[in-house]
């Protein structure tokens, strides 16, 4: 079940309430923290209807209805892959230059 939090005081609130029981802030709609989809709380009972986000848990920080909705994390930054590719292409070019005798 997804968790709902008050934007004013930050405390967890039940999904069926229209007003925060702690600070009194009135709720007009719910907004997904991942994709910013906004709608009534009833739409979010099974998670965000747009991206599938179900709220945070203590382990991974984000949990989704399906793994395909979660953005894939890279092990290394993209620039590192590009630098490695350039290094390999430079080495290949040097070998070709040596082979043809330039």
Domain ranges of the chain: 1-71, 72-102
- Can you read off the two tokens belonging to residue 68? 């395909």
Q: CA 37 to CA 102: how far, in whole Å?
A: 61
Q: What is the pLDDT of residue 50?
A: 86
pLDDT in tens, the chain (102 residues): 567 788 889 888 887 788 899 999 888 788 888 888 888 877 877 888 888 887 755 444 455 544 444 445 557 788 888 999 999 999 999 999 998 886
How many CB atoms lie under 10 A from the CB of residue 48?
24
pTM over 0.85: no
- pLDDT confidence of residue 83: 93
Mean pLDDT estimate for the chain:
78
């Amino acid at each position: 079940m997804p968790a709902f939090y008050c934007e004013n005081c930050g405390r967890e609130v039940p999904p069926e309430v229209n007003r925060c029981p702690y600070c009194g802030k009135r709720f007009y709609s719910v907004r997904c923290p991942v994709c910013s989809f906004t709608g009534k709380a009833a739409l979010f009972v099974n998670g965000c209807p747009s991206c599938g986000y179900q709220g945070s848990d203590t382990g991974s920080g984000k949990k989704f209805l399906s793994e395909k909705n979660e953005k894939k994390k890279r092990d290394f930054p993209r620039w590192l892959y590009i630098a490695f590719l350039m290094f390999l292409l430079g080495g290949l070019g040097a070998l070709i230059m040596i082979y043809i005798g330039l």
